């Protein structure tokens, strides 16, 4: 947590330095402003200053638009303190250029339950642990489409796939029926779901030691490839083709049954098959090498 000491009053204020340290309310403050920044409604300096005011629940008592020594001093102080909020971000390289990206360190879901009209809808648990492979595929498509187009309709689609009314189970055939209700949700909530999904996807794709119990660790990174053209910074795999290939094997049943299986069960199975395929390649290479001798 950041600490701000005000010597004149002896007051010490604290505010989060990352998403992981945010309360639900603070997270929504961040996602609201970050959405505006992402879509070009505000610049980065404005984001930081506005977020600082919200996190510290400050009210402007000086008109910063009027030129005065007091206004200049206040503006400088606010700007200096707002620089601390750079901790929410990191610099990454996309297509050879530096770009500012949200520090995705939050695989816990700040928004596990959301209100939609007079209903409560339940979403994924931490790290997407409880969603199906089919939900993941559909969510991944909506996520990438949103980043490509910045069209809020894809945010709606992402939420509609990841969240269901309490007591209900995910049914892809009912997603379109829920879109009208999802469209009424505050965009801060929807963008918050998007950032959570992105954080989990990054965690999955870079996880080289997934604990599956019994002292067994699984390296998921063998399934993912990073692409220079991927503006999200999140690597991906040929997900849809994988679903169809698995359905053909009938290991998890038909197409619908395979899609309904838990995401991590499928991923661990794919890692096992990857290692088996790699072993076959090594064995074949060894035989060829032995034959040459």
Give me the residue label for tokens 């980065």.
Answer: 44
**Residue 215 CA, distance from chain mean position:** 28
- Same domain for 127 and 40? no
Provide the pLDDT for residue 229: 44
- Same domain for 94 and 120? no
d(CA 272, CA 278): 10
- Same domain for 29 and 146? no
Tokens of 187: 């965009």
pTM of the model: 0.86
pLDDT at residue 68 tops 80: no
Write the pLDDT tens digit of every residue in 168-204. 999 999 999 999 999 999 999 999 999 999 999 999 9
> Can you give the length of the chain in residues?
293
- Same domain for 259 and 136? yes
Contacts of 271 (CB under 8 A, 6+ apart): 218, 219, 220, 222, 223
Find the distance separating the first CA and the last CA of the chain, reported in whole Å: 64
- Same domain for 163 and 66? no
Residue 32, in any domain of the structure: yes
- Same domain for 264 and 140? yes
Provide mean pLDDT across the span 230-239.
53
- Same domain for 162 and 208? yes
- Same domain for 260 and 126? yes
Higher pLDDT, 56 or 284: 56
The beta strand positions in 162-282, using DSSP E, are: 164-165, 210-211, 217-218
Residue 287, in any domain of the structure: no
Provide mean pLDDT across the span 111-122.
94
Q: Residue 209 is part of which domain span?
A: 113-275
- Same domain for 154 and 18? no
Residue 45, in any domain of the structure: yes
Q: How many structural domains are present in the chain?
A: 2
56, with CB counted inside 10 A (0-12, 13-18, 19+), is: middle
């Amino acid at each position: 947590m950041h600490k701000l000491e005000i010597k004149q009053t002896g007051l010490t204020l604290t505010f989060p330095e990352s998403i992981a340290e945010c309360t639900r309310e603070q997270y929504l403050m961040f996602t609201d402003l970050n959405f505006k920044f992402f879509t070009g409604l505000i610049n980065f300096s404005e984001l930081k200053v506005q977020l600082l005011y919200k996190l510290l629940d400050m009210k402007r008592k000086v008109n910063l638009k009027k030129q005065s020594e007091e206004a200049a001093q206040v503006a400088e102080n606010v700007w200096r303190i707002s620089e601390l909020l750079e901790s929410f971000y990191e610099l990454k390289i996309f297509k050879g250029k530096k770009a500012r990206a949200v520090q995705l360190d939050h695989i816990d879901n700040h928004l596990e339950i959301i209100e939609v009209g007079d209903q409560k809808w339940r979403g994924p648990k931490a790290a997407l642990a409880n969603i199906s492979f089919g939900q993941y595929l559909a969510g991944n498509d909506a996520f990438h489409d949103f980043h490509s187009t910045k069209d809020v309709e894809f945010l709606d689609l992402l939420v509609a796939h990841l969240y269901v009314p309490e007591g209900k189970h995910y049914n892809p055939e009912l997603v379109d029926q829920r879109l009208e209700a999802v469209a009424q949700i505050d965009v801060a909530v929807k963008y918050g779901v998007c950032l959570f999904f992105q954080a989990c996807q990054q965690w999955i794709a870079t996880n080289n030691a997934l604990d599956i119990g019994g002292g067994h660790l699984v390296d998921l990174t063998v399934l993912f490839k990073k692409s220079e053209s991927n503006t999200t910074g999140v690597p991906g795999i040929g997900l849809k083709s994988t679903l169809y290939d698995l359905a053909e094997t009938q290991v998890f049943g038909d197409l619908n049954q395979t899609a309904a299986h838990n995401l991590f069960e499928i991923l661990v199975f794919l890692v096992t098959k990857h290692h088996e395929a790699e072993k076959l390649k090594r064995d074949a290479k060894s035989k060829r090498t032995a034959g040459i001798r």
